[in-house]
Amino acid sequence: AQTVTQSQPEMSVQEAETVTLSCTYDTSESDYYLFWYKQPPSRQMILVIRQEAYKQQNATENRFSVNFQKAAKSFSLKISDSQLGDAAMYFCAYRSNNSGYSTLTFGKGTMLLVSP
Partner 1 sequence: EAGVTQFPSHSVIEKGQTVTLRCDPISGHDNLYWYRRVMGKEIKFLLHFVKESKQDESGMPNNRFLAERTGGTYSTLKVQPAELEDSGVYFCASSQARTSKPREQYFGPGTRLTVT
Considering the complex, state which of residue 6 and residue 82 has its C-beta at the smaller distance from partner 1.
6
Specify the DSSP class assigned to residue 92: E
Verify binding: residue 108, partner 1, rule CB under 8 A: yes
Round to whole Å and give the CA distance between 38 and 46: 5
Query: C-beta of 81: minimal distance to partner 1 in Å?
Result: 25
* C-alpha span between 67 and 111 (Å, rounded): 19
Taking the complex as a whole, the smallest distance from the CB of residue 16 to partner 1 amounts, in Å, to 29
x-or-dash pattern for partner 1, window 31-70, by CB under 8 A?
--x---x----xxxxxx--x-x------------------
